[in-house]
Structure 1
């Protein structure tokens, strides 16, 4: 009888090269769980590539990093506080309940001076449930638009919404892109998160010189930009004294001057500062100062455009909440990346692992901030971005709000599946959002779709950041959704109801993306179940499917109920198919089929309002 053959000995698993302490200090997450609750371990090669960019914080960072706290909390610190308003106060560990909110400087007894941020810990909330429209502003052309939806059209939308009894309008990011052709189409890859895009300014006339005209097949940003720059240059040259502009410019300080200088340099040298002459890479260098002085009039022109944008947005918003969108990042060659080179992680881009939105993952092209460098910079890049985006309108939607907790970072040259998560100081960042919301009396919505780790929903709810509830993704009846949410049927990255129902969205995806056909068709079937669960006939028309979707949405007790103008007007094409670019697809360039100054002529909007509002149409 022969001896049994022993089983083969598996090869030893190599010990991780990086200690847990090293990874924790850098914020790099080795293990993670995907949207389907499957655990993953990041390969060592990815860890090494990410760590090479992120690095480790200095040993003394904890002693000089900002302290973000709330009244009633202990800090473990004592010292004199130079208050934001110029006064002084004493801090002895516990922050008194009546301590002023704001951004202060703490002179620690026997230690370094550091920033002290005192937050209310909760965001401002509107007093009652209301509904409003979600719209891509570039798509919202009127019969008098100069080739692209603009702030004049936003005013038309706002006034129309008020007449219907609505309480808000949600718009795409309005941030500036590089002033070179072709203009960047994606609102989610701006050059800055602090300043706005002049293409949204209302000017007289149109690129083609026409008068009353229908919406074009696609939005031609380049033609609109060239036309508007000609008109605005002439207006700027002919203007007289403008003390209001001079005062506003002085209030904005160095940040505005730096941005306006970047716009001038980008016009001359291209939209990516990394390809400029080496002497222009340092925004505080002698060559940049000399260029700004030599082109003083052009710098003033770009500062003046930002003043016009501020004024027109204020007029467009009126007393209605206009909820602006904060993108997750900026272009690596843009103005903010130029200004904050030492804080951004050059060599990484932000994206998402495979999930229900995209089965092959996503790379959004933006370099992330390095978490510990952001702390070392007193969170100033984040503060300025939130404050600027929230200003003048009454609301903030934080795109991919999970990025305040962790970001999926992809090494340069790798695919979206080859990234890993890098953690951020979420408690501090969220409390800063609360402070800015409190000051601006602006509602905050966190777009929490995709791979959401445990604890995110609770952290948002604790701070009155409204969660995002999308009918396509919610298995539960909308009547059970939380009050602390914004309810919607779809988003700019998801199918419209008509496109889903007719199947044209599937054909659109297959024609423009690399997603597997089986995945795309299976995804459609899954979303269709949301429409069919209350008994909608599969033989129903697209219009009847829209009514069904918003009948369900109308049951939501959510504080904000968002209606899609694409759905209301029967548009089958979604604004964006993730993972696709031009010319395969005209993302971010599809106009609404009805001019916004003729919306009263379309029956769809009134139908949707009646379904979610439950009151007679005031129009």
Structure 2
């Protein structure tokens, strides 16, 4: 093909893969994406685009790909429609088109046939295509949609004469929207607290807030304070190494849990494990635990070393007690052993591969020098499908079973916390958080490298908060590759996270619609947006939400088009409203009645200052000390803007009648004034129209420094600061009791018979991943 056709192929490829060739920034400025960026993003998707010949071949591959298979990999349809249309494509000789018959059947997740039928002969093709001299035709197959919500295997056998061809597609039938809690019906408004679980201090934990602390927090908050929800940071698996591998928003895996949250001494095997008990009683380990417990900062490496030494002993006891060697394999001989085997079967290949990665990772970290990232492992171990990986797994079954066991134990303890919340009558219960991306050097990067764009990073274009743009450092899902796998990695991700509580926050929910891709090694200004099949992703999210009976919250901060917010509201995803950002066009603060009903209201987030930090300007002082202001003038302007904001907040509190004195009489410069304003600010929050409001435990305990300071790595102790008040002492905090009373006054609890059942359908006991 001659060069003048090259731009046409490039344009067609960009359209097919959802790559924007231009965009508008937050100031309305138009940006035309460079050809270099366009090609680099295509290459990151695995599409050769380096030359005119590459572009031509890539476009031909895209055009002909659907014709080379009988059925599409996935079809998604909303329940309530009478039928769904599926395309069936077959190679056919001239004159035989009308002779084809299509026999189809639908099987549900249990493998039962729920519908079947036959069409033809006499079918008329709706399209034809010639590929390399072979003629292909397309039929339209209409399937009656008299099947329940869920995942169905559609099998089609196309026959002409003695020749038959079979194809499969995953048919996903979704509800119209996500689950809606009955507590939100008829004007119901719920309140709760949120915190960083690892930051909890207690007299018994090992220097890292654990699931027993979580349960104690739930019991106290529900029974004594009247809280109806408890939120925590993402509990995703981490490498637990400072400074780069402790952020819950750049995890090792978003599917599996961080084992450091396990309470070692509560694992059932601890009571019958002499080895574990001797370790915990030893002077060396007791000294390490005490040092971790007393520190004001989480010692990730210290806690990990202490806990994993005991975990190994617990697994040895578990294996010896509940399994026997039978025909060269370990077989369960007790009910607890059978429960573990059942968990492993339900988790399937996903858990097996995660545990294999964990075993490989620890193997290479023991080398001298250690190898910390999988891309530097020997080539034969860099892909989970390689023969060397399978051979390694066979040789190291005990280590793989250990990692499977630890995930099982973690899920057991977290499930118990969720049961306690339900038993206490909390209408929402546990509120979890799902990170947008993952550490590319971690388990998820290794496991999903075929559906992640490993040569690109997520980020955002330049805006008022980051003039050079932001690079978040993790690879995005490749939307085309994800669809080729029938969205199974996405299904697994949302299902696992939705199963653990009553509400789930989706970080950067715009990621279901579009993400800003930055080719690896380029500045953020050299990126562009890639669009995602949001209707498909929202449908899957709704299905899993309804099955789990879990409310979904979409973090929609920043630049979010109105149509996206309308779409989210239409599918019952709550908006996420932060007090600091809820302003009118003139900069004044919105009133409580201006908050959308279908939203979650909070005062602050993990990336923003606490209330005391904001009012005293501690965050600005910290930025100045770390040299994060580009100029002295920028520092001065930030302080001036903060003072103006404080004045506007006082005016807003006065208009809302939550401030008992005139704004001009409140001195706004000292921590004591900040503390005095905690009650009116929380009354303002509680009075909002939002159906769910969460107060920060940091604020209630008068914390000043924020959890995470964006733009820093090792300059600031991100994700490490513990709460200053131990869990056992929180009951005695007068401010906590007073603020809880404020929340109850503005959001009185409803009697159990006042709340209608949630909107949704009962899930099967354990849906299997399609």
Taking structure 1 as the reference length, the TM-score comes to 0.91
Is 1:227 aligned with 2:306? yes
CA distance in 1 between partners of 2:734 and 2:292 (Å) = 21
Is 1:44 aligned with 2:2? no
Residue of structure 2 in register with 1:237 after alignment: 316
Residue of structure 1 in register with 2:719 after alignment: 588
Change (3 A) 1:26 1:90: same
Is 1:484 aligned with 2:598? yes
Bigger share in helix: 2
> How far off its partner does 1:413 sit?
1.5
Query: Is the 8 Å Cα contact of residues 75 and 86 (structure 2) preserved in structure 1?
Result: no
Choose which of 107, 129, 138 in structure 2 pairs with 1:82: 107
Residue of structure 1 in register with 2:331 after alignment: none
Query: Is the 8 Å Cα contact of residues 501 and 545 (structure 1) preserved in structure 2?
Result: no
> How far off its partner does 1:117 sit?
0.8
Give runs of aligned pairs for residues 454-533 of structure 1, distance below 5 A.
Answer: 454-475=562-583, 476-512=590-626, 514-516=628-630, 517-518=634-635, 520-521=638-639, 524-525=642-643, 527-528=645-646, 531-533=649-651
Moved more, 15-24 or 144-153: 15-24
Give runs of aligned pairs for residues 375-386 of structure 1, distance below 5 A.
Answer: 375-386=483-494
Is 1:261 aligned with 2:356? yes
| Aligned-residue CA RMSD (Å) | 2.6
CA distance in 1 between partners of 2:412 and 2:212 (Å) = 11
CA distance in 1 between partners of 2:647 and 2:418 (Å) = 38
Residue of structure 1 in register with 2:737 after alignment: 606
CA distance in 2 between partners of 1:275 and 1:571 (Å) = 41
> How far off its partner does 1:22 sit?
2.3
Residue of structure 2 in register with 1:122 after alignment: 177
> How far off its partner does 1:425 sit?
0.6
Choose which of 224, 234, 247 in structure 1 pairs with 2:342: 247
Moved more, 552-561 or 377-386: 552-561
Change (3 A) 1:84 1:616: closer
Query: Is the 8 Å Cα contact of residues 207 and 293 (structure 2) preserved in structure 1?
Result: no
Residue of structure 1 in register with 2:122 after alignment: none
Residue of structure 1 in register with 2:25 after alignment: 34
Moved more, 232-241 or 155-164: 232-241
Residue of structure 2 in register with 1:4 after alignment: none
Change (3 A) 1:523 1:47: farther
> How far off its partner does 1:608 sit?
2.5
> How far off its partner does 1:501 sit?
0.4
> How far off its partner does 1:526 sit?
6.3
Is 1:336 aligned with 2:453? no
Does the residue aligned with 2:287 lie in a helix, a strand or coil? coil
Query: Is the 8 Å Cα contact of residues 687 and 746 (structure 2) preserved in structure 1?
Result: no
> How far off its partner does 1:609 sit?
2.2
Query: Is the 8 Å Cα contact of residues 193 and 695 (structure 2) preserved in structure 1?
Result: yes
CA distance in 2 between partners of 1:533 and 1:52 (Å) = 53
CA distance in 1 between partners of 2:582 and 2:452 (Å) = 35
> How far off its partner does 1:420 sit?
1.2
Residue of structure 1 in register with 2:77 after alignment: 69
Does the residue aligned with 1:194 lie in a helix, a strand or coil? strand
Structure 1: tracts of 5 or more residues without a match: 1-14
Choose which of 199, 203, 208 in structure 2 pairs with 1:148: 208
Query: Is the 8 Å Cα contact of residues 180 and 267 (structure 1) preserved in structure 2?
Result: no
Residues 514-553 of structure 1 show CA distances to partners (whole Å, capped at 9, x for unaligned) of: 3433464466356535522334455141102322321221
Query: Is the 8 Å Cα contact of residues 237 and 256 (structure 2) preserved in structure 1?
Result: yes
Aligned residues: 602
Query: Is the 8 Å Cα contact of residues 207 and 223 (structure 1) preserved in structure 2?
Result: no
Residue of structure 2 in register with 1:368 after alignment: 476
Structure 2: tracts of 5 or more residues without a match: 1-5, 48-57, 88-103, 118-140, 159-165, 184-188, 266-279, 323-335, 365-370, 584-589, 655-662, 750-770
Residue of structure 2 in register with 1:8 after alignment: none
Query: Is the 8 Å Cα contact of residues 390 and 396 (structure 1) preserved in structure 2?
Result: yes
CA distance in 1 between partners of 2:647 and 2:147 (Å) = 52
CA distance in 1 between partners of 2:314 and 2:595 (Å) = 51
Residue of structure 2 in register with 1:202 after alignment: 263
Does the residue aligned with 1:469 lie in a helix, a strand or coil? strand
Residues 77-134 of structure 1 show CA distances to partners (whole Å, capped at 9, x for unaligned) of: 38432222322224874764x5211111223575842111111121112222211111
Residue of structure 1 in register with 2:149 after alignment: 101
Moved more, 444-453 or 18-27: 18-27
CA distance in 2 between partners of 1:154 and 1:50 (Å) = 43
Does the residue aligned with 2:604 lie in a helix, a strand or coil? coil
Query: Is the 8 Å Cα contact of residues 180 and 266 (structure 1) preserved in structure 2?
Result: no
